[in-house]
Structure formats: structure tokens, C-alpha cells
Structure 1
């Protein structure tokens, strides 16, 4: 049996996230769509494993997934088949054959997300699906100062919405970088893993700091508290993209 790795991009606007939801016939997920096409490709049951379980409305430039198959199709044939039958808001960028033990999620060493913010007097009609529009001017210098508090290994419990999480919430944040334009701010976060909504809660807190509602020093208090209620609101999903997944 072959192990096939996919590099994917998708517009998550109309999907209920990456992961399929058994028992919920009304949900539409990225995993559902791709598995459906793969299962028809060779008339076999296929389980697609995604590196990151992106949330409803979140997009991806570089999602990684893998599946096991008995197909004899060449890699370029698999790529062409998938892109022919998948909806136009999901695309397969690359296809590789990988060792049997490769697992898109468990083998990953780091994940990188970018959150896109636009400002300005009038929201762009064309960017509205893929950016968070902020009505206030943001002080990026304050946001950068607060972000430095999160660099390193910490317990990020305060930045997760999952109250029943049993696994450790300790994660290592490698970097938080800011790229500014005339009316744009891109925040790129890199860590060894992200819990549900973690990136969006961090960004939501940074936005409140940038608006001047709370001081940069408050970020340390939030981090040490482990209390979700002390952090900012969860930033809108539309501005978040899974940028890259790194492997050794």
C-alpha cells in the first residue's frame, strides 16, 4: 500500500473547518470533500489525515495531508484527477509518495499561520472574505512589545477555548512577526503546535493592545493566569491562513 502526501490550498469560507464531523449530516468540511473524490478514484475507502485541523472559515496556503491507497496511478495523474473533480475552492498543489510511517500531523515539527488585517477609511469590497477589517488605527509597536512575551515555551491555556482539554497546553512559540503596509498588517505566528482558536485568540488580544484598550504588559498577566476570560476576543476566522507545516 502506498502513502501519498498532498500539499493543499483552500478557501475555507463556506466550510465547517477541516475535520469531518461524524453524525452531523449538515456539516461540509474540507476533509469530506477530498475523501469523497479520493474514494471514487479507485473505488476504495480512503481516510485522509490532515496536519492541522483548521477551524470553520479558516483558509490555507499550505495544508499537508496524507492517505493510504492501492492505486497504480502516477503522482501527476492523482494530482490531475483531484483538481478535476474537487470544487474550485480546494486545490492540490503538489503530490508526493512518502514512507509508510509518515503521518501529516504526528510527523510535523512546526506550524505557521498568518493573520491578515486591513485598516483604512473604507473596507475593501474585494478583500472582505480574506481579511479582518479594523475600524481603528493600530499601534503596531505596542503589539510587537506584547507579542515578545509569548515567545518561548509557555502554558497557553489562556489562549484556548477548549475548557475540557485534557492534554498539556504547553507549547513553544518560535516567532511572531509583523509585516505592515499602507493599510495592512500581517501577523505571522510560528509554533510547534496550536490548540483550537489559539492563533485567533492571540491575535484578538494583540488587536485590543494595538487599539490602546489594554497595555502591552497585560499580555504577561493573561499568559500566567491560564484564564481564557482574561484574553481578548477570538479574532474572526476569515483573516486566518495556515501558511506552512514544517517537517524534519
Structure 2
């Protein structure tokens, strides 16, 4: 049996995230769309494994997925078939055959997300679907100071919306970069894993620091509190993109 790896990009605006939701016939997910097309290609059900479970409304530049198949189709034929029948807001950028033991999620060593924020007197008509618009001029230096407290291994319970989380909420953030120019801020976060809404809660907290609602040094207290109520609002999904999944 062959193990096929996919590199995907998608506009998550109209989807309920990556992962299909058993028993919820009203959900619309990226995984369901892929499996539906692959089932037609194979003539039998196919399970697609995604590296990152992106949330509703979140986009991806390079989501990684894999599936097992007995097909003798060439790689370019699989790629062309998928792109022919998938909706235009999902694209298969690359197709490769990988070792049987490769698992897009378990084999991943880190995930990199980026969040886009625009500022300015008037919100851009063309960026409104993919950027969060800030009506305030954000203080980048304070945001960077606050972000520095998050680097390294910490318990990120205060930055997760999953109140039923039974597993350890300790994660390691490798780096947070905050780039800015006159009208745009891009926050890039790389970590070994992310809990539900973790990246967006971090961004929401950094935005409040940039606005002066919270002090940068408060980030340390938020981490230690392990209390979701102490962190900032969850930033809108539309500004978040899965940028890269990192493997050794």
C-alpha cells in the first residue's frame, strides 16, 4: 500500500475547520471535502490525516496531509484529479510518495502560524477577508516585550479555550516574530504544538498590549495564573494562516 503526502493551501472562510465532525451533518470541513473526492477516485472510503487541526475560518498556505492507497495512478495524475474536483478554495500544491511510517501529524516537529493585522485610517476593502483590522495604532515594542515572556516551555492553559483539557497543556514556543510597517503587522508564532485557539488567544493578548489595555509585563502573570480569563480576547480567525509544518 502506498502512502501519499499532500501539500495543501486553502481559504478557510466558509469551512468549520480542518477536522470532520462525526454525527454533525451540517458541518463543512476541509477533511470531508478531500475524503469525498478521494473516495470517488478510489471507489471506496479513504481516510485523510491532517498535520494541523486548523479551526473554523483559519486558512493555510501549506497544510500537510497523508492517506494510504492501492491506486497505481501516477503522482501527477492524483494531483490533477484532486484539483479538478475539489472546490476552488482548496488546492493541492504538491503530491509525493513517502515512507509507510510517515504520519503527517505525529511526524511533525513544529508548526508555524502567522497572523495578519492591518492599520490605517480606512480599512482596506480587499484585505477585509484575510486581515484583522485594528482601529488603534499598536505599540510594536510593547508587543515584542510581552511576546518574549512566552518563548520556551510553559504551561499555556491560560491560552486555551478547551476547559475539558485533560492532557498536559505544557508546550514549547520556539519563537515569536512581530514584523511591522506603516500599515501592516505580521505576527509569526512557531511552537511544537498548539492547543485549541492558542495562537489566536496569544495574538488577542498581544493586541491588547499593543493598544495599552494590558501592560507587557503582565504576560508573565497571565502564564502563571493558568486562567483563561486573565488572557486577552480570542483574535478573529480570518487573520490566521498555517504557514508551515516542520519535519526533521
Q: TM-score, normalised by structure 2?
A: 0.99
Distance 1:153 1:101 in 2: 28
Structure 1's consecutive aligned runs of 4 or more residues displaced over 6 angstroms after TM superposition are: none
Distance 1:180 1:219 in 2: 21
Count of aligned residue pairs for this structure pair = 248
**Unpaired runs of 5+ in structure 2?**
none
Deviation at 1:178, TM superposition (A): 1.1
Distance 1:239 1:190 in 2: 16
Q: Deviations over 1:85-119 (max 9, x none)?
A: 00000000000101111111011000000000000
Deviation at 1:179, TM superposition (A): 1.3
Which sits farther off after the overlay, 175-184 or 190-199? Answer: 175-184
Q: Deviations over 1:42-68 (max 9, x none)?
A: 202100000000000000001000000
Question: Is the aligned partner of 1:233 residue 2:233?
Answer: yes
Distance 1:247 1:15 in 2: 26
Q: Deviations over 1:131-178 (max 9, x none)?
A: 000110000000000000000000001000001101111111000001
Partner of 1:63: 63
Partner of 1:119: 119
Partner of 2:220: 220
Distance 1:208 1:178 in 2: 15
Partner of 1:176: 176
Q: Deviations over 1:172-216 (max 9, x none)?
A: 100000111220000000000000100000000000000001100
Map 1:172-211 → 2, pairs under 5 A: 172-211=172-211
Partner of 1:32: 32
Partner of 1:152: 152
Q: TM-score, normalised by structure 1?
A: 0.99
Distance 1:63 1:167 in 2: 24
Partner of 1:105: 105
Partner of 1:166: 166
Deviation at 1:82, TM superposition (A): 0.4
Deviation at 1:40, TM superposition (A): 0.5
Partner of 2:21: 21
Question: Is the aligned partner of 1:82 residue 2:76?
Answer: no
SS in structure 1 of the partner of residue 149 of structure 2: helix
SS in structure 2 of the partner of residue 150 of structure 1: coil
Distance 1:137 1:209 in 2: 11
Q: What root-mean-square deviation, in Å, do the aligned CA atoms of Structure 1 and Structure 2 show? A: 0.5
Distance 1:116 1:218 in 2: 23
